[in-house]
Amino acid sequence: MLSVPLRTREIHLESRPDGWPTPDNFKLAEVDLPVLDDGQVLVANRYMSVDPYMRGRMNDVKSYVAPFQIDTPLDGGAVGEVIASASNDVAVGATVLHGLGWREHAVLDAGKVTVVDTSLAPESAYLGALGMTGLTAWGGLLHAARFKPGDAVFVSGAAGAVGAVVGQIAKASGASRVIGSAGSPEKVARLKELGFDAAFDYHDGPVSASLKKAAPDGIDVYFDNVGGEHLEAALSSLNLYGRVAMCGAISQYNSTEPSPAPRNLALLIGKRLNVRGFLVGEYADKSAEFAEQMAGWLADGSVTRDETVREGLDQAAQAFIDLLGGANTGKMLVKL
Amino acid sequence: MLSVPLRTREIHLESRPDGWPTPDNFKLAEVDLPVLDDGQVLVANRYMSVDPYMRGRMNDVKSYVAPFQIDTPLDGGAVGEVIASASNDVAVGATVLHGLGWREHAVLDAGKVTVVDTSLAPESAYLGALGMTGLTAWGGLLHAARFKPGDAVFVSGAAGAVGAVVGQIAKASGASRVIGSAGSPEKVARLKELGFDAAFDYHDGPVSASLKKAAPDGIDVYFDNVGGEHLEAALSSLNLYGRVAMCGAISQYNSTEPSPAPRNLALLIGKRLNVRGFLVGEYADKSAEFAEQMAGWLADGSVTRDETVREGLDQAAQAFIDLLGGANTGKMLVKL
């Protein structure tokens, strides 16, 4: 018989960040684990995801996901092993994906977990390229931006979890040119290893100048993870009938004032541009199609999964803070 | 035999405006009329159109239409009567639409004019609701913004030529609510007469507050003729999956500096909004479908054609300047 723990550890939101989050905004708490109700499972989490969107949930504002509450545990994507089950549907030993990260153990109804196939890819991949991160890249590029073969594609935050996958999907799908921006020379070098045709460090000068140099014939698609100056530069470089998928605006998540916005929005008219904001949830009904394509790209090497892994729940808050600062290359994970 | 004039008058661009245009930027010139070549017609213009997009052509910048040249005649939409013809296709007496406005007579190849049916609508309608103005409203609302019955629609510059038609098409097509903004109490009153459910004067306070009051349940479509503060307010009021058609940015045409931009563009993400810039030329292949629908709406009174008419070519420059200042209700025309 398995030994089931009675207590576990989890991260609570201690206070709401004002601008950049600090370790003081988080608290590691030890709590009792509840006894399983009928139909529930106990999961020992192996990896948890930290994602930029979580920053928005730390503000007390109405948005597309409810805000985190003070003195309660944070949540987010996690993958782990079922170590106790009161469900006929999910057996002990199964590896499952679920939404109760930021804790070492999770108790959930069996209907809230998805069993994943670790013979197809390692468990951490289900938080990255094969999971929400990959679906975000895939849905944003192919649906929100209506990518088509021959398009020149620019991705900002291209060394991040989503950006790196966007660029690789574009290359695998017949892009004429893929350009990425990132925040360090090491990341720029990595993008070139991943097959990007051009990449630049956005610290090296105005983004508009770097982009024009990297894409002298303009771009057809811009996948926006950053907002602000990047978006303004992209609008300037977009060709007629160009398309923007707005996925994130990480340059603005920690701003305490409204951010400077692109001053050239009127370009949308003459160039007949389309800008589409999107959330990954829109593509949930296409998950099977996505998973099949992505498994193929992972298998044939078209998509390489980069991960930056921190160890231990006590490192989770710092991992999240560092993610916002761009310390990661590829998917930022915490191994538990 | 008709008496054909040997000389005519036309308006030249004397100098490029810096900011707001002034009468000094324009010059009335008397010039010889050329002898007709084979296949050409001579048109006595009856009405010429002044349109906001012409302001952009007065700058020496590459755009979707070539800039006007100094010391040469301006051009733009006009309608007139053929008074001499060296073409087998277009007879003397025909009423024709063409692109050589800003002059009392025009000499063109017959292939560059379109004969219009004045039994269906008065000739001036072909510069307004039945012409480019109407097609702009129709294409922008139905295609760029993908309007569907039940949508709540907000139109800025709603008393202008395009805006007034947008609002009336929306009402005729099953909008749940149509809201317009305009620049004077008289225009607001006129919008209500035209069937708008709500209208406000944008001088009466922040646009965002006026819009929230006029559309307490939010909007689904924003037809943007103005840009700037209006666009920011609309993004704030748009419901999930809302759509913006960007048609113009008249608030910015005379700016000498980059304009302040909406600071809330990141709302596109959470609300999954779509913003589409467009030009009327995109819908040229749908002209017949448009003309049939619009003729029906004009006939059954769903769309009323408002016109502001100035008299005489010597008033054309001032008519254009006043248009940019919002002096018109509906389509601004110059009767020649």
Q: Is A270 within 8 Å of B64 when comparing Cβ atoms?
A: yes
Instruction: Determine whether the interchain pair B273/A276 forms a contact, defined as Cβ–Cβ distance below 8 Å.
Output: yes
Residues A156 and A266 in one domain: yes
CA dist A74 and A85 (Å) reads 23
Domain for residue B300, yes or no?
A: no
Structural contact between residues B133 and B331, judged by C-beta atoms closer than 8 angstroms: yes
What's the whole-number mean pLDDT along residues B166-193? 97
B156 to chain A: which residues are within 8 Å by CB?
none
Q: Is residue A295 part of a domain?
A: no
The CA distance from B186 to the nearest CA of chain A, in Å, is 29
At A100-128, the pLDDT tens digits run 999 999 999 999 999 999 988 999 999 99
Taking only the tens place, the pLDDT of each residue in A10-56 is 999 999 999 999 999 999 999 999 999 999 999 999 999 999 999 99
Asked whether residue B69 falls in the same domain as residue B158, the answer is no
Q: Give the angle subtended at the CA of B201 by the CAs of B198 and B206, to the nearest 5°.
A: 100
Question: What's the confidence (pLDDT) of residue A41?
Answer: 98
pLDDT at B2 over 70: no
Q: What is the mean pLDDT of chain B?
A: 94
Show Cβ contacts of residue B119 under 8 Å, excluding neighbours closer than 6 positions: none
Cα–Cα distance, B198 to B178 (Å, whole number): 7
Distance CA A122, CA B264 (A): 39
List the single best residue of B265, B267, B273, B280 to mutate versus A (max A Cβ within 10 A): B265
pLDDT confidence tier of residue B299, bands split at 50, 70 and 90: very high
Of B248, B261, B274, the CB nearest to A261: B261
Measured CA to CA in angstroms, residue A75 lies from A59, A102, B122, B170, B237 at distances of 14, 6, 66, 44, 30
Provide the pLDDT for residue A159.
94
**What is the separation of C-alpha A54 from the centre of its chain, rounded to a whole number of angstroms?**
10
DSSP code for B267: H
* Mean local confidence (pLDDT), A49-66: 88
SS3 A236: helix
Cβ-based contacts of B261 with chain A (< 8 Å): 260-263, 265
Mean pLDDT computed over A227-254 = 90
Question: Which chain B residue has its CA at the smallest distance from A57's CA?
Answer: B270
Chain A CB contacts of B276 under 8 Å are: 268, 272-275
The residue segments making up the domain with residue B241 are 132-281
CB within 8 Å: B265 and A231: yes
Residue B311 burial class via C-beta count within 10 angstroms: exposed 0-12, middle 13-18, buried 19 and up: exposed
B166 in the same domain as B78: no
A110 and A145, same domain (yes or no)? no
Read off the pLDDT band of B257 (50, 70, 90). low
Q: Looking at the DSSP assignment, which residues form a beta bridge with residue B245? A: B223, B276
B265/A63 touch (CB, cutoff 8 Å), yes or no: no
pLDDT at A333: 97
Tell me the per-residue pLDDT of A73-82, one tens digit each, with 9 for 90 and over. 999 999 999 9
For residue A206, give both structure tokens.
Answer: 């105005």
pLDDT digits (tens, 9 = 90+) for B89-145: 999 999 999 999 999 999 999 999 999 999 889 999 999 999 999 999 999 999 999
Q: Give the other-Cβ count within 10 Å of A163's Cβ.
A: 28
Instruction: Provide the ipTM.
Output: 0.89
Question: Is some CB atom of chain B closer than 8 A to the CB atom of A277?
Answer: yes
Q: What's the pLDDT score for residue B1?
A: 46
Helical packing angle, B229-237 and B207-214, nearest 10°: 40
What is the distance in angstroms between the Cα of A39 and the nearest Cα belonging to chain B? 33
Looking at residue A109, what is its pLDDT? 97
B107 and B142 assigned to the same domain: no
Same domain? A160 vs A91: no
CA A231, CA A273: separation in Å to the nearest integer? 13
Do A112 and A214 fall within a single domain?
no
> Which of A253-267, B66-80, B177-191 is least confident?
A253-267
Do residues A311 and A234 share a domain? no
- The answer to whether position A229 is within a domain reads yes
CB nearest to A270's CB, from B227, B269, B279: B279
CA distance B243 to chain A (A): 9
Residues B234-242 have a mean pLDDT of 97
Contact across the interface for A263 and B264, Cβ inside 8 Å: no
pLDDT at residue number B66: 86
Q: Which residues contact B331 (CB under 8 A, 6 or more apart)?
A: B49, B124, B127, B128, B129, B133, B161, B305, B306, B307, B308
Single out the residue of B30, B31, B33 nearest to residue B3, CA to CA.
B33
- Residue to mutate among B275, B278, B280, with most A CBs inside 10 A, is B275
Residues of A in contact with B266 (CB under 8 A): 227, 246, 249, 252, 259, 277
For the CA atoms of A265, A266, A267, A268, the dihedral, rounded to the nearest 10 degrees, stands at: 80
A–B CB contacts, 8 A cutoff, strictly below: 99
pLDDT category at B262 given cuts 50, 70, 90 is confident
Strands A198-201 and B152-155: unpaired
- Least CA distance to B270: which residue of chain A? A64
| Residue B299 located in a structural domain | no
B301 lies in a domain? no
Q: Specify whether the CB–CB gap between B133 and B298 falls below 8 A.
A: no
Contacting residues for A332 by C-beta, under 8 A, at least 6 apart: A49, A50, A161, A307, A308, A310, A319, A320, A322, A323
Q: DSSP label at A70?
A: B
The answer to whether A61 contacts chain B (CB < 8 Å) is no
| Helix or strand run (H / E) with residue B292 | helix B287-299
Is pLDDT above 70 for B230? yes
Are A146 and A115 in a shared domain?
A: no
Question: Residue A99, CB half-sphere, CA atoms under 13 Å: how many?
Answer: 7
Band (pLDDT 50/70/90 cuts) for residue A61 is: confident
CB contact under 8 A, B259 and A262: no
pTM: 0.91
- Contact assignment for B266 to A63 by CB distance below 8 Å: no
Residues B268 and B248 in one domain: yes
pLDDT for residue A257: 67
Residue B179: CATH number of its domain: 3.40.50.720
Whole-number Cα distances in Å, A108 to A2, A97, B118:
18, 11, 73
User: Percentage of residues in chain B with pLDDT exceeding 70?
Assistant: 98
Let me know whether B203 and B258 are in one domain. Answer: yes
Q: Please give the backbone phi and psi of residue A106, each rounded to the nearest 5 degrees, phi first.
A: -135, 140
A235 within a domain of the structure (yes/no):
yes
CATH of the domain at A95: 3.90.180.10
What confidence score (pLDDT) does residue A1 get? 46
* Dihedral angle, C-alpha A311, A158, B246, B230, nearest 10 °: 40
> Does residue B246 sit at the A interface (CB-CB below 8 Å)?
yes
Q: Residue B16: CB partners within 8 Å, gap ≥ 6?
A: B25, B58, B59, B60, B70
Within this chain, do residues A82 and A213 fall inside the same structural domain, yes or no? no
State the pLDDT at residue A258.
Answer: 60
pLDDT above 90 for B249: no
Using CA atoms, how far apart are residues B330 and B157, in angstroms rounded to an integer?
10
Give the pLDDT score at B263. Answer: 83
| Mean local confidence (pLDDT), A128-156 | 97
In this structure, is residue A291 part of a structural domain? no
By mean pLDDT, which of A14-23, A313-322, B3-12, B88-97 is the weakest? B3-12
Asked if the structure places residue B273 within a domain, the reply is: yes
DSSP for A270-316, written as a single string: HHT-EEEE--GGGGGGGHHHHHHHHHHHHHTTSS---EEEEESGGGH
Question: Residue A227: which of B265, B273, B282 has the nearest Cβ?
Answer: B265
pLDDT at A3: 67
Domains of chain B: total: 2
